[in-house]
Chain A
Amino acid sequence: MTTVTPEPTDQPIPTQVLDGAVEAYPRDRLYVMTAVFLAVVTVVEIATYVWPDLPVWSWGGDTNAGIITVLLLLMAVKFFTVAYIFMHLRFDKPLLSRVFYMGLVLAVGVYLMVLFAFRLFWEGGHESGPQGVPFPSAGPQGPPAG
């Protein structure tokens, strides 16, 4: 058995060095800016709730298509920002991204298919769901016609 010289596990760093370390270390700057960006996007998301009638997203009318589209877009932007920057996918080997996207794409694909099978995205549809029971997507309605 040879010499065992453990590495220094915790050497205190003088605090003077640490002041301003956030700015001194370029990656940390990127993280803070990213967080600010995410906060701004979140504010925009909330704005759709506070001011639903802004022309940017009120074009869907009754179907709320505009708001939904904008919210989904913003959500995706936040999702990929966190994944790329905070989770380091941009700086890591591509295999990690591929493995994660495999799961993500599969999940989105398969579950979208399920939602389509349940006719979530359009009204009506008499063939799914037990007769006479209000259909999940359509809300309360009378017995299906025909």
Chain B
Amino acid sequence: MAITEPRPLALPSGEGEFTVEHPLGVFERPKPRGGWRSWLTTVDHKKVGIMYGAAALFFLLVAGSEALLIRMQLWSPRGTLLSADAYNQVFTMHGTTAVFLVVMPIGAAFMNYLVPLQVGARDVAFPRLNAFSFWVFLMGGIFLNSSWFLGGAADGGWFNYAPNNGVLYSPTHGIDFWNIGLILTGIASLVGSINLIVTILNMRAPGMSLMKMPIFTWMALVTQFLILFAIPVLTSAQFLLLFDRLFDANFFNVAKGADPLLWQHLFWIFGHPEVYLMILPAFGLVSEMLPVFSRKPIFGYPFIVFSGVAIGFMGWGVWAHHMFVSGIGPISVTTFSLTTMFIAVPTGVKILNWTATMWGGKLRFTSPMLFSIGLVTMFTIGGLSGVSHSIAPADTQQTDTYYIVAHFHYVLFGGAFFGFMGAMYFYWPKVFGYMLDEKWGKANFWLLLIGFNLTFAPMHVLGLHGMSRRIYTYDSGYGFDLWNKVATIGAFTIAASVLLFIINIFRSKAKARQLPPPGPDPWDARTIEWMVPSPVPAYNFDPIPTVTRVDDFWYRKYGETEDGRLVRVAATEDVVQKAEGDHDVHLPSPSYWPLVTAVGLPIIGYGLLYTWWLCLIGGLITVAGIYGWALEPPDDPDAAHGDDHGPDEPAADEAPASEAGTGEDAVDKEPETVG
């Protein structure tokens, strides 16, 4: 196999994407071109992030429609829009979709897109694995929602308690779809978490120690650790349920002495870290936006970091506050009540720090800023009701009422969703190369704020008056009628606001042709992802910057006088990276094996429910995918083989890795001059 004479390798370049038929493992890697096929085979974290975002927005419409159905059914007492059974399916799927297919993927979208940029890397640690994560997530989401067409969706609530989740009480396949679909999305999340943790720990730019990372990256790191450790707990519970339902096992079969509470414990050990992993990315994003629009650094960087880590740790010790009335006994209830009270502390620290960041700053009320302030205020309200839940005797009245519904929507919708919306406006120019219209953005915000509060504020009242959740209707004469109507009007207002957002996207894109491009740094921001052109080129940075402090980019533009006043030291154009010029950077080649491997998994899922043949076929596809992936040719040597490490000289080929390392050092780590 020795090739001794120097000659260019004869590669069939430029002959269309998928060329010759080869035995397994010998497929050429697809050439990176445009078009829809490049999206199917991409391993670029930016494209993967955009796909996560697009999928999340689609599922937002699905979950939102389900919410509107709920609100229409509850408009008046004894509504007739949905039967009890249909209502159960709708609210179950609304919760499941919103949690697993909207909020988590939006977080994943931002983390995938931004983390490599914020740490100064070219991509994540395992680009193909990243693509695989997305495809498996998408397959899981489609699988889960295919239940609507295949006999009915899950109907036990998004948490599907035992024994209701067994075949005796839920004989349709709905819960099986829920179960298997979420196992698939769980695989996606778990694999993605390993990817991002390795990226953050191993691939930071020179000079970027952990305490110089942007806050969003820190929150992403904590989130990924939470995912890493929480998802397997859910997976174990799900396999127990799967075996009960498909193979008649006895994990939740009371007649054989099983305890349905086991499901609750396992689910909530996952479920509580789950809510933190939904909110932490939004916290991180807001921690990026508030300083930019206050023209002040984040107040108490170490405190924000450590409180995020603390939330991550403490989130493991509070799960049974979801089970206060399930009969776990006074000792358990007291313990978890105390731990739950304590967890308000680190979150409170964050609220304080954000407020202090804004205090005395030169505030600019742009759309991202409005949404960020929205998160801080709405989340505080939700947090306060949360503290009231932590007092177990009070929770005994509140639980299973609309008071709880109000709480979690304030923290998840008012918190996470507002944060993500703001971040959409903030990062849109960076990702797509044009700004979203500010006027429409502000209208979007105010309509959303009004609609959101109209919908969920009354639910506090409804809950305290005793309106039960998870029930398809209510009777008149309880005082519920008015507030339910208000809530429904609010829900449609939210829908209008989301519509505004979508219209804004199309309008802004059309108008962008007549407007000058926003450039790399339209907001005068602080972190290094704003140094690169907009939209971000495939190679991210050229060269990879050396980082010397937190908010490194800001301090390349600004210095401080002795009395602490900001002074401009360099024009933005001189500090940002240019898109033109020869960028000879070797990037990971695209691959279709992640997609192939991912496609086999839902087929196995359908096989488990319908016929073993599908399991076999799906299994073969997945195994073939894994082998193809492992054996496929390396990154296309034909691609520009370039300058992020030194040129390949004959001597370099024989030398061990350290030589290549020095080559890299010479190019990437040369210190940059400011201004």
Chain A residues in contact with chain B, CB under 8 A?
A: 1-7, 9, 95, 102-103, 106-107, 109-110, 113-114, 116-119, 125, 127-130, 133-134, 136
Contact = CB atoms under 8 A, between A and B. Distances in A.
Nearest to A114: B265
A5 B653 contact: yes
B269 A6 contact: no
The residue among B8, B9, B261, B637 with the most chain A CB atoms within 10 A of its own CB is: B261
Given A118-B259, A128-B261, A128-B328, A5 B649 contact: no
Interface in B234-291: 254, 257, 259, 261-262, 265-266, 269
A130 B254 contact: yes
A114 B267 CA distance: 12
Contacts of A106: 229, 316
Contacts of B649: 2
B6 interface: yes
Given A103-B229, A129-B261, A133-B257, 20 more contacts: A2-B647, A2-B648, A2-B649, A2-B653, A3-B6, A3-B650, A3-B653, A4-B653, A5-B650, A5-B654, A7-B654, A102-B225, A103-B228, A106-B229, A106-B316, A128-B261, A128-B329, A130-B254, A134-B257, A136-B259
Contacts of B317: 113
B236 to A, nearest CB: 10
A126 to B, nearest CB: 9
A102 B654 CA distance: 40
7 contacts: A2-B650, A3-B6, A103-B228, A106-B316, A114-B266, A118-B265, A134-B257
A7 B505 CA distance: 53
Given A2-B649, A4-B653, A109-B316, A129 B328 contact: no
Interface string B610-627: 000000000000000000
Nearest to A119: B329
Interface residues of B, number: 38
Contacts of A119: 329
A4 B649 CA distance: 10
A-B complex: 7 closest residue pairs judged by Cβ atoms = A127-B329, A3-B6, A1-B8, A3-B650, A117-B332, A114-B265, A2-B648
Contacts of B2: 5-6
A107 B647 CA distance: 47
Contacts of B225: 102
B476 interface: no
B394 interface: no
Contact of B327 (A2, A116, A127): A127
A116 B330 CA distance: 13
Nearest to B320: A117
Given A4-B9, A118-B259, A110 B1 contact: no
Given A5-B4, A127-B328, A128-B328, A117 B9 contact: no
B265 A117 contact: yes
A5 B652 CA distance: 10
Interface in B637-655: 637, 641, 647-650, 653-654
B269 A110 contact: yes
A134 B259 CA distance: 10
A139 B327 CA distance: 19
B3 interface: yes
A113 B320 CA distance: 10
A24 B584 CA distance: 48
Contacts of A102: 225, 229
B630 interface: no
B352 interface: no
